Structure 1
Amino acid sequence: MHTYIIAGIRRDPRFSPQHEANDEAIFRLTAEALRARGCTVREYTEADLWADAVSADAVFGMARDPRSIRCLQRMEDGGLPVINSSYAIARCGREPMTRLLTEADLPHPRSLILPTADDPVPALASAAIDACWVKRADGHVVGAGDVTFAASREATREVFRRLSDGGIRTAVVNEHLTGDLVKFYGVAGTDFFYAFYPTATHHGKFGLEQVNGPARGIAYDADALRTTCHRAATVLGLRVYGGDCIVSDTDGLVRLIDFNDWPSFAPCREAAAPFIASCIIG
């Protein structure tokens, strides 16, 4: 009798800035939950993908290196189930994600996609954007300089110069939204959804969550947030997801500012892992 074999792909530490232990923990708990359901789980690194050393009936993983994504796409094209889809992971790059969420008319900050060699000030003025977030457009965050808060148009110009000098050709610019920062995690096709204030638990990367300050508890519609996140996950093709949103201090609306493939689930990983396992084998 054939035992169902699932390959688990660990995230390369380069793509877990300040969260390597958290990403490893959710990977381990997911593998344990799958084994508890009778699956054989073989654990691999992203480098194993590049060496064509992965063999299984299905794959779950947290890979983000472009080479890994291409390997997974070839496996997926051959009919192997992959969670999250490698094509969905690619859509979570800053530029495609921004385009897709905007085109789907999901609540989102005003955004621009601009060449870093250009002066961004005229485009910012035309869009009536002052303070903003500047993000490298070509992939996932790997370092502190990949996402920068710019308090003014002149500050944005300086960030563009730095990115251009560093070889980053394109940037995504999101207007800065004031209000409460809320982080969320979800697993599509299950009842699992978790939202919290990261400033209350000091959960974040590079201290950027402190820009909006401590959460004030601005009232928002939790069901609407869950529905919006499910819609965004569907647009991107994600099953295991997370992200960030702002509850506006002017109109109380919730707007998505980031959406990620397979985050750490750090404050809720023990609860999330069985749902992720069900999603993988479901």
Structure 2
Amino acid sequence: MISILGVTRKSRFSPNHVGNDAAIFNEVILKLTEKGASVEICNEDEFLAATTVKQENILTMGRTKTLVKKLQILQSSGAHVLNSGFGIENCFRKNMTLKLLEGGIPYPKSIVISTVADIQSIFEKLKGKGVWIKRGDFHAIHKEDVTFAGSLREAQHILNEYALRGIKEAVISEHLSGDLLKFYAVRDTDFFFYFYPYEHNHHKYDLYQQINDEVVHFPFDLVKLKQAANSAAELLDVHIYGGDVIIDSNGDFHIIDLNDWPSFAPCRTEAAEAIAQMVYHKFTEKNHNAERTS
């Protein structure tokens, strides 16, 4: 029997998806126990307060920066962690942007900038309909953490507000026109689910829909999208992931966001089974390998 510690996610890291995030986690845990795993659950604060962790296998939705560092230390000492603590950190906005651009993943033109800088030259370089300004140090927690600016004055104001909030860096990305598509996937499995969120009222903030174009259903190559998503997940070192894509009128696409362990809300049952199978296989395989080398 494999022993697993499951770490839940703080509600502040689940904007508009607290219930959905808890639901997918609980369903995965249930399926793991049905497969014979022994699972102990704790929250982020309890995990951080623990002086020792007896389990060698950790399944986590946690995102607190101190928690991520603790996961990394445990991993470096031989613990098996999904998603990897290093992968979770790679999904912080600045890290994700730089890694995906460097890795050749189709991603919007983007520039990392200090929040106390003058944004004029960057705005003019990326200008089109406008630019997206995103906090660079973390995921979006508040709706202001990902903001559209249609003018230079608006862009500078948003950047200044970030500085006042203590956010030191921002990612400035070009605005891309086209269909917004959301996907969920589990690496090393065949599971891949996609849908158009505006058609299912599954978007975090109504303002985004007003800025993005209406859905046209431009044709695109699903195989290529799956390959790009998988390559992005490998680059970032995450196994349980999801993201957002813009598909233009030519069928070309750009991944605009990729997250560690999203809600999987529209496909929870199928996703939970895929996640549980992958996790059980990975932990069992690693435990057997560790026994052979000990």
TM-score range, shorter chain: over 0.9
**TM-score scaled to structure 2, two decimals?**
0.92
- Give the C-alpha shift of residue 127 in structure 1: 4.2
Q: Deviations over 1:259-282 (max 9, x none)?
A: 000000010011101110111121
Letter in 2 for 1:137: G
Is contact 1:130-1:151 (8 Å) kept?
Answer: yes
The corresponding residue for 2:289 is none
Bigger mean CA deviation after superposition, 210-219 or 119-128: 119-128
Change (3 A) 1:157 1:63: same
What is the aligned residue count? 279
Is contact 1:198-1:209 (8 Å) kept?
Answer: no
How big is the alpha-carbon RMSD for the aligned residues of Structure 1 and Structure 2? 1.3
The alignment partner of 2:156 has SS state of helix
Is contact 1:64-1:140 (8 Å) kept?
Answer: no
- Give the C-alpha shift of residue 227 in structure 1: 0.6
Is contact 2:123-2:131 (8 Å) kept?
Answer: no
Percentage identity across paired residues of the two chains: 37
Equivalent-residue separation in structure 2 for 1:158 and 1:133 (angstroms):
13
The answer to whether structure 1 residue 165 and structure 2 residue 182 are counterparts is no
The corresponding residue for 2:247 is 247
- Give the C-alpha shift of residue 129 in structure 1: 5.2
Is contact 1:245-1:254 (8 Å) kept?
Answer: yes
The corresponding residue for 1:39 is 37
The corresponding residue for 1:93 is 92
Is contact 1:137-1:171 (8 Å) kept?
Answer: yes
- Give the C-alpha shift of residue 70 in structure 1: 1.0
Bigger mean CA deviation after superposition, 266-275 or 55-64: 55-64
Describe how 1:16-31 pairs up with structure 2 within 5 A.
16-31=14-29
- Give the C-alpha shift of residue 36 in structure 1: 1.0
The corresponding residue for 1:178 is 177
Letter in 2 for 1:37: K
The alignment partner of 2:33 has SS state of helix
Q: Which runs of 4+ in 1 moved over 6 A?
A: none
Q: Deviations over 1:30-54 (max 9, x none)?
A: 0011011000111110011111264
Change (3 A) 1:133 1:126: closer
**TM-score scaled to structure 1, two decimals?**
0.96
The alignment partner of 1:264 has SS state of coil
Equivalent-residue separation in structure 2 for 1:129 and 1:96 (angstroms):
25
The answer to whether structure 1 residue 13 and structure 2 residue 50 are counterparts is no
The alignment partner of 1:160 has SS state of helix
Letter in 1 for 2:238: L
Bigger mean CA deviation after superposition, 185-194 or 154-163: 154-163
Is contact 1:180-1:214 (8 Å) kept?
Answer: yes
Bigger mean CA deviation after superposition, 49-58 or 197-206: 49-58
Letter in 1 for 2:113: L
- Give the C-alpha shift of residue 206 in structure 1: 2.2
The corresponding residue for 1:231 is 231
Equivalent-residue separation in structure 2 for 1:130 and 1:202 (angstroms):
24
- Give the C-alpha shift of residue 67 in structure 1: 1.0
The alignment partner of 1:167 has SS state of coil
Equivalent-residue separation in structure 1 for 2:204 and 2:7 (angstroms):
23
Structure 2, unaligned stretches of length 5 or more?
282-294
Q: Deviations over 1:95-123 (max 9, x none)?
A: 11100000011111110100111110112
Structure 1, unaligned stretches of length 5 or more?
none
Equivalent-residue separation in structure 1 for 2:275 and 2:208 (angstroms):
26
The alignment partner of 2:73 has SS state of helix
